Amino acid sequence: MVINGTLIYELDFPNKEVKDAFLMVLVSEYTGKSQIEIFNLNIRIHNALINKNEIELQDSLTELYANAVYDTDTKQEGQRQSLFVIAMRLSGFETEVEVHTNVGRADVVLKNGEKIIVVEIKYSKHNKAEKELEEAIGQIREKKYYVKYASKEVTLLGIVFSKNKDITCMFERP
């Protein structure tokens, strides 16, 4: 493509299979898990999201992050969000990151046909995550990140990564 007289190259994956294989290797390297373990874990994550099963999602994400290499295990939401997004893409969801609205931006929006999951991710400096979980869901509600998807089946999802490595999830309807 040429922009303002300058030739610009855009690198992309040739197809979904190559993209998925690349992401699988990436998650495997980040977590130290085999590709078959990642595959099975992504099936569990997919089912937990579709069925809005908080416990299964918490357990699956905890397993995914438990082996995350030290360099990626930080207190920054962005680091945790990156691995989450890759895992969601491998779990079969169309994934949008930092989705802008007229009043803010949602961390992640997951799409699976007519099902939409609006996700807000928080990090808790405390071992208890209840306050941050309420803040995550409250932020989605207050900023109305879900309104642009009103014609679809929308679910809100708050995820909190705690200081003690716990992951807490909560699903709600808008």
Q: Residue 128 in contact with residue 135, Cβ under 8 Å?
A: no
Q: CA-CA distance, 17 to 59, in Å (whole number)?
A: 27
Model pTM score: 0.82
Distances (CA, A) of 17 to 13, 24, 90, 170: 9, 10, 11, 32
Q: Residue 107 in contact with residue 98, Cβ under 8 Å?
A: yes
Domains of the chain by residue range: 14-172
Protein fold of 14-172: Trna Endonuclease; Chain: A, domain 1 (3.40.1350)
Q: Which tokens is 71 given?
A: 């360099």
Q: CA-CA distance, 78 to 107, in Å (whole number)?
A: 9
Q: Per residue of the chain (174 residues), give pLDDT as tens.
A: 678 888 888 788 888 888 888 888 888 887 788 888 888 999 999 999 999 999 999 999 988 888 765 444 445 555 667 788 888 888 889 999 999 888 889 999 999 999 999 999 998 877 677 888 899 999 999 999 999 998 999 999 999 988 777 889 999 998
